[in-house]
Structure 1
């Protein structure tokens, strides 16, 4: 199928993918921002024991009945407990244990008095006030009760979630695996940044703009690099990723030139879905499948690759990830600058959107990438549109 509308192309792509639901177990510290694959409930109370909220002394409140400043009660100090320790013998009536914040309340005690409110001399404690049962006392499960739902499946984990799960002793959690994406560029004319610039060569910008954009959207692509203008070699490299990634993106090799190899690559490794979308720039895009993996081959022109990624690949990523917030938004705005060209076919031009208005850069060529810097929208121009004067109300896509 070829020469199809953008909407038809997107529908065909979405028909090939579904939301990733496979789970993987990861260390808790690595789970920030990931979505849970299952519900997590508290396996025990937290705190798991009654504890002291302050530094002081713990004892049976019954021993202070009728006590006042003139007639303090004398208790015998029989031990000391810091947080992390455990006083494992019952405390009889008339005895006390010195306790620090977070320490477990020993058996036989039901209150805590502040260290500043009492006097200690040797092993004798003078308590000049009456205390009530459970005064200055934290109960087991005060923070989280056993069985409490900590987080439901699908929850995106925040730092607070990590803390709550860690308090339950969980070192790992099951999360939805990440969407797997591989990216590559084709072209013998390409050099990687850092190599000496040779005659007839250009540096590979597409791999960086595409990889950077994927990371901006929250994905972590596998960067393959540059594929040669050789059908067999390129096909062999791409085929290695069959069923290992959900989406394989390439730039270049999609038109009708001598070295537009992606037609041959697709014929060798998979099945073509469509070629050529009725839009400018980036119309010669190819979509195909190999195994369970979806491939989209974008134009090699820098802005064309950038635009078709947003318009073709981004909806696929939304479907795979379930992240609706990543979907492009449509709006209307007023042009502050003229667009001097008639648009025989459907066209998308880069733009700067702010407060209901869009400004246009001076450069609109498909091969120009620098003019994309700072752009946050595309102006969508229908086929058969005359040049657009300032003040024209236009449809825009917010990126």
Structure 2
């Protein structure tokens, strides 16, 4: 027995040493690579605060809103749980959005990291679904009507649309059956996300991390500890300060005021707005006058996250050495921010027109990128006087 415990202890310590201390990683990683770890920390905090809050939550349409108020006012430390959980969703998605855009800029989707990118996109889409269905159990006025509007979009599908809506609601309106269904899924999905995150980490260790230059960095690696441990610690402290400001000084700034009113199905809101992290997609959805067309537009938005795997035609991975693509990237980022602003505006002129132009612009990036890749490669090969070279050699020639 003592021998087995000794072997188990040795296995644990060797695993920790190989993957958390002596693990070799590219020497030129910046603070942008710390968002992945911050997102993992946020996931753990969300699970802990979510499970703790669920212990006092009452799963009934007539009592759900009151139970949340009970947690806030009567449970010792309940206000901290609720504020950490509510603001943690936004912090989690901020980390993942920044991580995705960072990967898009530095070409983290390029071979051999295709699986890593796909798993990251799956985590993001799962988080968005989890955030939406977790918005409903609070039973605020905005969350109730938001769930009604979003789920009823399925009615635009011919023949089976109404059946799908009835199935999602568990009846003929957003009622107790809907609340039970959404709460159960919201409780389950974070653990599934945690499982996919483990696969993501395994794939990252298998295929290695990308780096600022987007080149093969196997010739210049250093141990994870202590250099990157201390470097990431700076990011974790900065994030803790940023998160604490929201939790302790501005806990409701990211929420909508109408969601602090108990849900009332007899009183329709004049302007229904989702949470901020849904606003770009919501702007695209409502920019199409046809209801079915708006629903159909959600599919391409999700698929476009996988598109870089198939539309990348450049031998240079990092946008740092692709000046034209770099400008296109910043235009895409600005376009997404514009869509987010449009999504919270009333459905009237000129916001509808601006939203339509911005929606087309967001998809144009994925149309123009393959052309840019070939054009930039031709310019690089011409300037370097060399043929088509792998990413490592092309980048090296640029640096010369």
TM-score range relative to shorter protein = under 0.3
Please, what TM-score do these two structures have when normalized by structure 2?
0.17
User: Which one has a bigger Cα radius of gyration?
Assistant: 1
Q: Comparing both chains, which one has the higher relative contact order based on Cα–Cα distances under 8 Å and sequence gaps of 6 or more?
A: 2
Structure with a larger share of its residues in helix? 2
